[in-house]
Amino acid sequence: KQEVTQIPAALSVPEGENLVLNCSFTDSAIYNLQWFRQDPGKGLTSLLLIQSSQREQTSGRLNASLDKSSGRSTLYIAASQPGDSATYLCAVLTGANSKLTFGKGITLSVRP
Partner 1 sequence: NAGVTQTPKFQVLKTGQSMTLQCAQDMNHEYMSWYRQDPGMGLRLIHYSVGAGITDQGEVPNGYNVSRSTTEDFPLRLLSAAPSQTSVYFCASSRTGTSGGGTYNEQFFGPGTRLTVL
Q: Is the CB of residue 38 less than 8 Å from the CB of residue 89?
A: yes
- Label the pairing between strands 62-67 and 72-77: antiparallel
Interface segment toward partner 1; rule CB under 8 A; list 17-25, 26-34, 59-67, 75-83: 26-34
Cα R_g (the chain), whole angstroms: 13
10 Å Cβ neighbour count for 87? 19
102 binds partner 1 (CB under 8 A): yes
Mask of contacts with partner 1, 38-57, x by CB under 8 A?
----xxxxx--x-xxxx---
Nearest to 62 by CA among 43, 34, 40, 102: 34
Alpha-carbon distance 25 to 70, whole Å? 9
31 binds partner 1 (CB under 8 A): yes
In the complex, the smallest distance separating the C-beta of residue 51 from partner 1, rounded to whole angstroms, is 4
Q: Is 22 in the site for partner 1 (CB under 8 A)?
A: no
Q: Which one of the spans 21-29, 58-66, 71-79, 93-101 is the region binding partner 1 (CB under 8 A)?
A: 93-101
Judged by the rule CB under 8 A, the positions of this chain that interact with partner 1 are: 31-32, 34, 36, 42-46, 49, 51-54, 89, 91, 93, 97-100, 102-105
